[in-house]
C-alpha cells in the first residue's frame, strides 16, 4: 500500500505548490477586479451581483486559471529535456498503468479543489457585495437569484439541476484521466491532445444557463467517451520509442 501512496505523493508534491499559487493569484486578481467594479458602481444605480461578477471579468480570470491548472496537472511525469522519468517508473513494483491512474486521481482532486476554490472566492465576493452595497439593493434572495440568473455562477453551483452537477463531475473525471494520459503518451513518443480538447470544451461550454439538459448530456457523453478512450490507451501495451 505504501508503494501506491508514495507514487501518489509524487504527483501531489509536483503540483500542490504550483496549484496553490494559481489559486492565490486567481483569488487576488478576481478580488481586485471585483473591488474596482464595485467602487465604480454608482451609489444610486442598482447593480446586480451577477452583472458585477460578469463585468469584472471573473469568468475570464477563472478560465485562465483553469487552463493553467490543467497545464500543471498534465505535466506530472512529463519528460522535459534532460529527464527520463520512465527509467524510474519502469523499475518500480507498481505497474505504470496504476501509476498513471493514481496521478489521474490527483488531477481529479486538484480540479475539485479548483472548483471549490473558485466557488469560495465567488461567495466571498458576494459577501463583499452585500457588505458594500446599500441594503436597498439586496435582499435575502439576492445570492440565490444571482446563482440562477448567471450562466457562470449557475454552472459553478448548479442548484436544483442535477444534470449540470453530473456534467461537472464527468468533466473533472475526464480531465483528470486525460491529464495523466498526456504525460504517459509523451513518454511513449505519442501525442496526447485529449486534455487540451477537453479543457477547450470546458472553457467554451462551462457557462450555461439553467435548463440546458441537452447540452449537459452532450458534454457528458463527449467527456466520458474521451475518458474511456484515454483509459483504453493507458492499459494498451505500448512500446517505449527509443
Partner 1 sequence: MLEIRNLSKSYIGKTALTQIDLTLAPGEIIGLFGENGAGKSTLMKCILGFLQYQGKITLDGEAITRKNIARLSFATSEHSFFPNLTTSAHKEFYEMHFPYFREKRYRGLMEFFNLPEHKPLKSFSTGQKNQFEVILALCQGADYILMDEPFAGNDIFNREDFYKVLSGILEPEETVLLSTHLLEEVEAFISRAVLIRHGQIAGDVFMTDLEDEGKTLVGYVKETYQYKADRVSRALSDLTDEE
Q: List residues binding partner 1 (CB under 8 A).
A: 2-3, 5-6, 9-10, 13-14, 80, 82-88, 90-95, 239-240, 242
- Distance in Å, CB of 233 to partner 1, minimum: 19
Query: What distance in Å separates the CA atoms of residue 181 and residue 175, rounded to the nearest whole number?
Result: 10
- Distance in Å, CB of 10 to partner 1, minimum: 6
- Distance in Å, CB of 242 to partner 1, minimum: 6
- Distance in Å, CB of 239 to partner 1, minimum: 7
For partner 1, give the closer residue by CB, 93 or 140. 93
Closest-CA residue to 101 (of 181, 168, 169): 181
For partner 1, give the closer residue by CB, 187 or 212. 187
Query: What distance in Å separates the CA atoms of residue 11 and residue 102, rounded to the nearest whole number?
Result: 8
Query: Would residue 160 be called left, alpha or beta, if left means φ above 0 and alpha means ψ between -120 and 50 degrees?
Result: left
Query: What distance in Å separates the CA atoms of residue 46 and residue 138, rounded to the nearest whole number?
Result: 9
For partner 1, give the closer residue by CB, 136 or 239. 239
For partner 1, give the closer residue by CB, 107 or 168. 107
Closest-CA residue to 123 (of 144, 95, 93, 96): 144
Q: What is the DSSP letter of 239?
A: P
- Distance in Å, CB of 18 to partner 1, minimum: 9
For partner 1, give the closer residue by CB, 32 or 92. 92
Helices vs strands, H then E, count in the chain: 10, 0
- Distance in Å, CB of 156 to partner 1, minimum: 30
Helix (H, G, I), strand (E, B) or coil at 18: helix
For partner 1, give the closer residue by CB, 7 or 172. 7
Query: What distance in Å separates the CA atoms of residue 43 and residue 47, rounded to the nearest whole number?
Result: 9
**Contact call for residues 151 and 206 (beta carbons, < 8 A):** no
**Contact call for residues 15 and 73 (beta carbons, < 8 A):** yes
Helix (H, G, I), strand (E, B) or coil at 106: helix
- Distance in Å, CB of 226 to partner 1, minimum: 26
**Contact call for residues 65 and 110 (beta carbons, < 8 A):** no
Amino acid at each position: 500500500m505504501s508503494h501506491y501512496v508514495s507514487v501518489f505523493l509524487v504527483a501531489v508534491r509536483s503540483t500542490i505548490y504550483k496549484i496553490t499559487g494559481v489559486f492565490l493569484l486567481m483569488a487576488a486578481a478576481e478580488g481586485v477586479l471585483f473591488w474596482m467594479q464595485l467602487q465604480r458602481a454608482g451609489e444610486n444605480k442598482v447593480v446586480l451581483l451577477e452583472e458585477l461578477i460578469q463585468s469584472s471579468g471573473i469568468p475570464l480570470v477563472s478560465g485562465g486559471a483553469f487552463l493553467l491548472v490543467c497545464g500543471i496537472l498534465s505535466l506530472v511525469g512529463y519528460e522535459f529535456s534532460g529527464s527520463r522519468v520512465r527509467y524510474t517508473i519502469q523499475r518500480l513494483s507498481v505497474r505504470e498503468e496504476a501509476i498513471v491512474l493514481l496521478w489521474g486521481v490527483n488531477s481529479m482532486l486538484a480540479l475539485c479543489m479548483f472548483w471549490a476554490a473558485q466557488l469560495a472566492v465567488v461567495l466571498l465576493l458576494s459577501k463583499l457585495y452585500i457588505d458594500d452595497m446599500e441594503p436597498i439593493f439586496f435582499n435575502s434572495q439576492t445570492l440565490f437569484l444571482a446563482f440562477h440568473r448567471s450562466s457562470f455562477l449557475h454552472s459553478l453551483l448548479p442548484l436544483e439541476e442535477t444534470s449540470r452537477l453530473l456534467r461537472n463531475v464527468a468533466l473533472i473525471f475526464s480531465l483528470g484521466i486525460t491529464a495523466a494520459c498526456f504525460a504517459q503518451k509523451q513518454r511513449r513518443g505519442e501525442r496526447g491532445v485529449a486534455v487540451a480538447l477537453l479543457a477547450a470544451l470546458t472553457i467554451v461550454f462551462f457557462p450555461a444557463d439553467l435548463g440546458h439538459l441537452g447540452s449537459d448530456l452532450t458534454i457528458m457523453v463527449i467527456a466520458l467517451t474521451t475518458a474511456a478512450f484515454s483509459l483504453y490507451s493507458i492499459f494498451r501495451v505500448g512500446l517505449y520509442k527509443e
